[in-house]
Structure 1
Amino acid sequence: MLRHVIEDLLSIEPAGADRFRAAKQSDVFDRVYGGQMLAQGLRAAAATVDGARPPNSAHCYFLRLGDPTVPLEFHVERVRETRTFSNRLVRAQQNDHCVCLMMFSFCAAGEGLEHQWAMPDAPAPETLASRDEQLIAIHGDELPLNAGVPWPVDIRHVNRRPWDPEIGEGRNLLWMRADDALPDDPLLHACLLLYASDLTMAEAATARHPIRWEDLIAGRGIFGASLDHSFWLHQPVRFDDWLLHVQESSRGGGGRGFTTGRFFDRGGRLIASVAQEIFIKETTEGSGR
């Protein structure tokens, strides 16, 4: 599965001056998965930047639901170039419509003041059941829509089972890593972590309410979609080793839910941070955002 993601879903090809095309999209969702679009956009932006500068942040707005049957085109604008930073604006387009607007920053290595929050205690990932094992324990043979989809990310939930119908406190801890060893390519590791950072962010918000995740996915009486996504890579990452993702939803209202997250490596270093707002609202047939 990981090879499929790297070779197909994250691959882009040149399509003109600072333009790129991604021919194939995920075939397991009814829309283009946002994390995939972000990872492809990062690859497009990085192709226009000095390779010595790693990415340090990504910010995007999801403007339309992408059609997974239509190729995506990425238009890169070289916004700024300084001795320390390179900034790129990327437009993901389908049929001349902007689907996602992304801004990426790349930063040369430097030194400065250091501090971070401590990593919370969590059992080792090897002692926990896999996501698929937990889903089967909850639902048996009647898995919700998309529950049986193989993801390229191994996920081990710590304090809450995936898609648990019980109302929770809105704080999720889970371990994440790529489901196979990866080559020594720092950009690839960053792209895959960005890809994974969008997988479970909505769960912390929906867990605060009596929402059945399978109804949200299927659009039965409730509609949900990511509105925006921000990601900060604080230091180089190896995504084929375990990272603890700590997610918290601090607010919901006005048809939107807000969640933040932090990724710690097994040594307790804060590797990356993420924030996302989702659109989530009760609907009638034919309505949307």
Structure 2
Amino acid sequence: MSEALQSLLDLLDLERIEQDIFRGRSQSAVVPRVFGGQVAAQALVAAGRTVPADRHAHSLHAYFLRPGDPHVPIVYNVDRLHDGRSFTTRRVVAVQHGKPIFVLSASFQTYEEGLDHQAPMPPAPDPATLPTGEERLRGYPHLPPQVVERFLEARAAVDLRHVDDPPFGRFGEPREPHSQVWFRTNGKLEGAVDQPLLHVVLATYVSDMTLLDSVLLAHGRGGWAVGDVVGASLDHAMWFHRPFRADEWLLYDQQSPSASGGRGLGQARIYTQDGRLAISVIQEGVVRVPR
């Protein structure tokens, strides 16, 4: 396990300060606000720690309300909304400075057999044939060194490989609003940490990294890395269809059906390397052009 992955696991290991109240900290402030994937992942950890072990997360719906302050702890308050025979529902409110910054609803289910079908996995190159994130980033001479280092630090726990140039790598020319990224944790999950919820939590963490890239591609924008767009996540929804491992390659196939009114919509499917549809994701975000 890499040092960066161990640091991320430590970040996700929340402190329990009351039965349904948890406290988490943030990563070093490589950006001026808390990374949305972090607060979503930590909120899911908080919810999962109040649910029986035989119930697994199958969906989450969340709203980002305020920018998080990376310099102070985040308190997660869990409401036990429902405990049924098959399903358990939790609501989590993340609080800083006395105000909610994020709210998440998550549903958990006991395993059962049922109807089974899925959309086929789209074509994609083998991840082993693609440049690593660091190789790709260092290949863009137009990116300031400090921007490259911020990217590398923020994503050090994840082996994330773009199939094609990301928005900041080749901007100025509109492209199809579709992008693909392979990802897995930068190291294996073994021993006591190898729990089903952790794989779901780590996928939640990564899911906020690139989902709105397809919005930028449609307009030839490079994003915050080159300063031609200001953006932030507004809401986020995920459905977990089939078991998967976050330390094995997952294909994040992303597209944007619409952008309007200063907002952009991204939707995606995440597949295991052998073609099983593991997760569906939808996110809307603020996408503004600086004046």
TM-score (norm 1): 0.92
Matched residues in 1 for 2:209 and 2:269: separation?
14
Match of residue 236 from structure 2: 229
Q: Report the Cα distance in structure 2 between the residues aligned to 1:21 and 1:198, rounded to whole angstroms.
A: 21
Report the Cα distance in structure 1 between the residues aligned to 2:264 and 2:188, rounded to whole angstroms.
34
Q: Are the structure 2 counterparts of residues 26 and 194 from structure 1 closer, same or farther at C-alpha, using a change threshold of 3 Å?
A: farther
Unmatched segments (≥5 aa) in structure 2: none
Question: Residues 226 and 47 (structure 1 numbering): CA distance in 2 closer, same or farther, change over 3 Å?
Answer: same
Equivalent in the alignment of 2:214: 204
Per-residue CA deviations over 1:154-190 (Å, capped at 9, x if unaligned) read: 1111133462214221100111111100122111111
* CA deviation string 1:70-120 (max 9, x = no partner): 110000000011111100000000011000010011011011111111001
CA distance in 1, matches of 2:209, 2:161: 13
Partner of 1:241, secondary structure, is coil
CA RMSD of aligned residues (A): 1.7
Whole-angstrom CA distance in 1 between matches of 2:228 and 2:273: 40
Alpha carbons of structure 1 residues 256 and 161: separation in structure 2 relative to 1, 3 Å: closer
Contact 2:168 2:221 (C-alpha < 8 Å) held by counterparts: no
SS of the residue 2:259 aligns to: strand
The counterpart of 1:154, out of the listed 152, 156, 159, is 159
In structure 1, C-alpha distance between the alignment counterparts of 2:80 and 2:144, rounded to whole Å: 49
Give the C-alpha shift of residue 123 in structure 1. 1.2
Look up the match of 1:15. 17
Return the match for 1:3 from 2, 6, 13: 6
Secondary structure in 1 matching 2:202: helix
Q: Distance in 1 between matches of 2:268 and 2:222?
A: 22
For residues 266 and 180 of structure 1, the distance between their equivalents in structure 2, rounded to whole angstroms, comes to 17
1:161 and 1:283, CA in 2 relative to 1: closer, same or farther beyond 3 A?
closer
Q: Does 222-231 or 142-151 show the bigger shift?
A: 142-151
Match of 1:93 in 2: 95
Which amino acid counterpart does residue 246 of structure 2 have in structure 1?
Answer: F
Deviations 1:198-234 (CA, angstroms, capped at 9, x unpaired): 1111211111113232xx257x464210000101111
Q: Which amino acid aligns with 2:107?
A: S
Tell me the distance in 1 between the aligned counterparts of 2:186 and 2:139.
21
Q: Deviations over 1:232-289 (max 9, x none)?
A: 11122211110111000010000000000111111100011111001011245xxxxx
Task: Measure the CA separation in 2 of the matches of 1:48 and 1:275.
Answer: 26
Match of 1:249 in 2: 256
Tell me: CA distance 1:150–1:280, structure 2 relative to 1, closer, same or farther (3 Å). closer
Partner of 1:60: 62
Change in Cα spacing, 1:161 to 1:96, as seen in structure 2 (3 Å) is: closer
Q: CA deviation at 1:150?
A: 4.8
Residue 119 of structure 2 corresponds to residue 134 of structure 1? no
- What's the offset of the Cα at 1:26? 4.0
Look up the match of 2:72: 70
Matched-pair contact (CA < 8 Å) for 1:221–1:283: yes
Once residues 263 and 143 of structure 2 are traced to their aligned partners in structure 1, the CA distance between those partners, rounded to angstroms, is: 32
* Superposition misfits of 4+ residues, deviation over 4 angstroms: none
Unaligned runs of 5+ in 1: 285-289
TM-score by length of 2: 0.91
Query: Displacement of 1:24 after TM fit?
Result: 3.7
Report the Cα distance in structure 1 between the residues aligned to 2:101 and 2:28, rounded to whole angstroms: 16
Identity %: 39
2:5 partner amino acid? L
What residue identity is the alignment partner of 1:16? E
